[in-house]
């Protein structure tokens, strides 16, 4: 295998759990000869280091030079991977299938092709059970190769069956690859351009979808054809801001996994992504019954499977569930409650995963925390978190989110009556929004409102808020402004000023009215 860089080896050792480290030491002692004594010494040394330092390692490993260390690192890296594979083989059916295929290759090479076919049949049964279409095709192609080169006395039906299986699995894998590519293309459109903002953009996306969709829903027959199709539909409707349709396809996705629990075990990440997308769209729609039911089920699921999750899956579960917890407080208006246990748990997890979280995800959390403190009536603390966003180097946060953070920053300083500072902040934000590629109407209307508010006489303030509320009601009618109101609930903040109530009280009363209407 290729030589691994020392820091990659160090990173892998640091990622091992206590159980994995214990198993590796047992494995190393079983296979270790006199010539292998040093690779375990290197493992123990790297495990104790806080940072990778090659010079320190060479000094501490007796009779070693740079060249020897390079070979030793490669040796250790390979042994760790082998040990992890042995540990995972009893947990991962995919690894088990691949091992059986490897054994079948060995048996075939020894001329034991009937034994090889028997093992392939066993592997194919398991691959079919877990809907692994690629491995099913690989196995069938191997069976065909053996049958075509040897007289195995197979029946005509058997040979025709292999041909039919090959054709079917080839078509299925083609569909899955096409759907996966299509979903990624839709995702890339969103990353580059965001949601559609005009009727012309909507028409272009609708035409693109009709022209490029690989298969229709009625033609998706296998598990992963359906999953990838639902994912593509989700992103299509997400681009169009059709959140009711997003909720529909996310729900289909989650229900399909629930109908085949084995598949949840096989790919927990994909199931959690479906749950997350259902949570997000239910939040966007303010569909509290679906939201709270999904969040509760997600919490139970996460608690049950957490010990089985790998490190990456643990991070995903943290991101999805903790965002859901914040959104619950935003829906209910329970901001102050959220600053307690919910916030403290999230901050602990952020510290734990700090070096594994990309900057965008971290800044999104800071934005949510800032809004939580605003709702709790603590604008000073909200500003602390907004400063972490606004002073962050580079462009980790999307342009539109940067604008929302700036507008929330203005709202917080207005609550604190920092009028002298507001002039500078409003002008800065106005310049930023004017340079954006495509600012939303809400962003432009908000900065215009704050400019008028700053220069208004005290007696005119209430009328300005009333006029702005009317403007917000007009903007909400636009299909292209839906997401703006989701990310920045300026409407509730304005209402709190008009009614002389706390922000939390306004949100809570609106939440209770919505529950009554839906009951």
16 or 365, which is more confident? Answer: 365
Using the predicted structure, report yes or no on whether residue 273 has a pLDDT greater than 80. yes
Contact between 385 and 373 under an 8 Å Cβ cutoff? The reply is yes
Using the predicted structure, report yes or no on whether residue 470 has a pLDDT greater than 90. yes
Specify the long-range contacts of residues 159-168, CB closer than 8 Å, at least 24 apart: 165/136, 165/140, 166/137, 166/140, 166/141
Band of pLDDT at residue 482, cut at 50, 70 and 90: confident
Band of pLDDT at residue 2, cut at 50, 70 and 90: very low
Contact between 456 and 464 under an 8 Å Cβ cutoff? The reply is yes
Nearest to 215 by CA among 203, 199, 206, 228: 228
Distances (CA, A) of 484 to 298, 404, 440, 479: 27, 9, 7, 11
385 or 398, which is more confident? Answer: 385
Structure confidence by residue, pLDDT tens digits, 411-427: 999 999 999 899 999 99
Half-sphere exposure of 421 (CA within 13 A, CB side): 10
pLDDT of residue 15: 84
Half-sphere exposure of 513 (CA within 13 A, CB side): 6
Using the predicted structure, report yes or no on whether residue 336 has a pLDDT greater than 80. yes
Joined together, the tokens standing for residue 448 give 């215009």
Q: What's the rounded mean pLDDT across residues 115-123?
A: 95
At 320 the three-state DSSP class reads helix
Angle between helices 379-390 and 359-375 (to 10 degrees): 160
Structure confidence by residue, pLDDT tens digits, 424-448: 999 999 999 999 888 899 999 999 9
Q: What is the largest CA-CA distance in the chain?
A: 98
Name the phi and psi angles at 391, rounded to 5.
-100, 5
CB atoms within 10 A of CB 67: 8
pLDDT of residue 388: 94
Band of pLDDT at residue 152, cut at 50, 70 and 90: low
Distances (CA, A) of 142 to 59, 159, 166: 51, 13, 10
Angle between helices 156-193 and 199-212 (to 10 degrees): 170
Using the predicted structure, report yes or no on whether residue 408 has a pLDDT greater than 50. yes
Distance from the Cα of residue 3 to its chain's centroid? 31
Burial of 90 (0-12, 13-18, 19+ CB in 10 A): exposed
113 or 139, which is more confident? Answer: 139
Nearest to 125 by CA among 107, 113, 145, 139: 139
Q: Provide DSSP, 60-120.
A: HSTT--HHHHHHHHHHHHHHHHHHHHHHHTTT-HHHHHHHHHHHHHHHHHTT-HHHHHHHH
CA torsion angle for 422, 423, 426, 427 (degrees, to 10)?
-150
Band of pLDDT at residue 86, cut at 50, 70 and 90: confident
Among 75-84, 197-206, 318-327, name the one with the lowest average pLDDT: 75-84
Q: How far apart are CA 514 and CA 519, in angstroms?
A: 9
In the block, tokens 């903002």 appear at 197
Using the predicted structure, report yes or no on whether residue 45 has a pLDDT greater than 70. yes
- DSSP letter at 460 equals G
Using the predicted structure, report yes or no on whether residue 240 has a pLDDT greater than 60. yes
Average pLDDT, the chain: 91
Contact between 316 and 275 under an 8 Å Cβ cutoff? The reply is no
CB atoms within 10 A of CB 171: 16
Q: How far apart are CA 441 and CA 259, in angstroms?
A: 43
- DSSP letter at 361 equals H
pTM of the predicted structure, to 2 decimals: 0.85
pLDDT of residue 311: 87
At 54 the three-state DSSP class reads helix
Using the predicted structure, report yes or no on whether residue 55 has a pLDDT greater than 80. no
pLDDT of residue 491: 95
pLDDT of residue 155: 66
Q: Kindly list the domain boundaries of the chain, sorted by start residue.
A: 6-88, 93-154, 347-519
Q: How far apart are CA 34 and CA 54, in angstroms?
A: 24
CB atoms within 10 A of CB 449: 20
Contact between 486 and 330 under an 8 Å Cβ cutoff? The reply is no
Q: What's the rounded mean pLDDT across residues 110-117?
A: 92
Using the predicted structure, report yes or no on whether residue 406 has a pLDDT greater than 50. yes
pLDDT of residue 35: 53
Structure confidence by residue, pLDDT tens digits, 214-234: 999 999 999 999 999 999 999
Q: What's the rounded mean pLDDT across residues 289-295?
A: 98
Band of pLDDT at residue 3, cut at 50, 70 and 90: very low
Q: How far apart are CA 280 and CA 122, in angstroms?
A: 41
pLDDT of residue 59: 79
288: left (phi over 0), alpha (psi -120 to 50) or beta: alpha
Joined together, the tokens standing for residue 496 give 């709190």
Q: What percent of the chain has pLDDT over 70?
A: 96
Band of pLDDT at residue 4, cut at 50, 70 and 90: very low
pLDDT of residue 37: 65
Name the phi and psi angles at 287, rounded to 5.
-90, 80
């Amino acid at each position: 295998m290729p030589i691994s860089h020392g820091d990659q080896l160090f990173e892998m050792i640091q990622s091992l759990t206590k159980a994995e480290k214990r198993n590796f030491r047992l494995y190393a002692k079983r296979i270790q000869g006199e010539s292998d004594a040093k690779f375990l010494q290197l493992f123990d040394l790297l495990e104790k280091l806080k940072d990778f330092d090659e010079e320190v390692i060479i000094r501490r490993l007796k009779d070693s030079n740079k060249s020897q260390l390079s070979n030793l690192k490669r040796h250790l890296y390979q042994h760790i991977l082998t040990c992890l594979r042995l540990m995972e083989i009893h947990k991962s059916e995919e690894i088990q299938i691949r091992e059986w295929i490897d054994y079948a290759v060995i048996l075939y090479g020894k001329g034991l092709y009937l034994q090889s076919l028997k093992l392939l049949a066993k592997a194919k049964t398991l691959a079919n059970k877990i809907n692994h279409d690629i491995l099913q095709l690989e196995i069938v192609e191997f069976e065909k190769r053996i049958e075509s080169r040897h007289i195995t006395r197979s029946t005509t039906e058997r040979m025709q069956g292999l041909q039919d299986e090959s054709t079917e699995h080839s078509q299925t894998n083609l569909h899955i690859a096409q759907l996966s590519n299509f979903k990624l293309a839709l995702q890339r459109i969103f990353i580059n351009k965001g949601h559609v903002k005009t009727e012309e953009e909507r028409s272009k996306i609708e035409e693109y979808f009709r022209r490029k969709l690989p298969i229709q829903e009625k033609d998706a027959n296998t598990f992963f054809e359906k999953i990838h199709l639902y994912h593509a539909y989700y992103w299509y409707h997400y681009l169009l801001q059709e959140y009711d349709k997003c909720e529909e396809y996310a729900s289909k996705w989650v229900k399909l996994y629930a109908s085949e629990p084995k598949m949840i075990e096989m790919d927990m990440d994909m199931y959690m992504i479906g749950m997350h997308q259902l949570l997000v769209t239910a939040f966007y729609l303010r569909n509290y019954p679906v939201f709270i039911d999904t969040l509760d089920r997600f919490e139970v699921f996460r608690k049950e499977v957490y010990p089985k999750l790998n490190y990456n899956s643990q991070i995903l579960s943290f991101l999805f569930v903790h965002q859901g917890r914040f959104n619950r407080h935003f829906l209910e208006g329970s901001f102050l409650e959220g600053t307690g246990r919910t916030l403290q748990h999230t901050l602990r997890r952020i510290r734990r995963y700090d070096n594994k979280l990309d900057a965008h995800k971290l800044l999104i959390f800071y934005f949510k925390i800032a809004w939580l403190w605003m709702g709790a009536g603590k604008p000073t603390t909200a500003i602390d978190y907004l400063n972490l966003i606004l002073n962050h180097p580079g462009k980790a946060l999307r342009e539109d989110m940067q604008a929302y953070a700036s507008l929330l920053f203005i709202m917080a300083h207005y609550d604190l009556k920092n009028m002298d500072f507001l002039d500078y902040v409003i002008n800065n934000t106005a310049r930023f929004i004017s340079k954006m590629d495509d600012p939303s109407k809400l962003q432009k209307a908000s900065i215009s409102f704050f400019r008028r508010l700053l220069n208004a006489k005290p007696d005119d303030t209430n009328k300005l808020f009333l006029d702005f509320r009317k403007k917000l009601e007009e903007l909400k009618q636009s299909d292209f402004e839906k997401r703006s109101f989701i990310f920045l609930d300026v409407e509730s903040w304005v209402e709190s000023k008009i009614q002389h109530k706390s922000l939390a009280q306004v949100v809570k009363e609106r939440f209770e009215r919505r529950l009554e209407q839906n009951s």
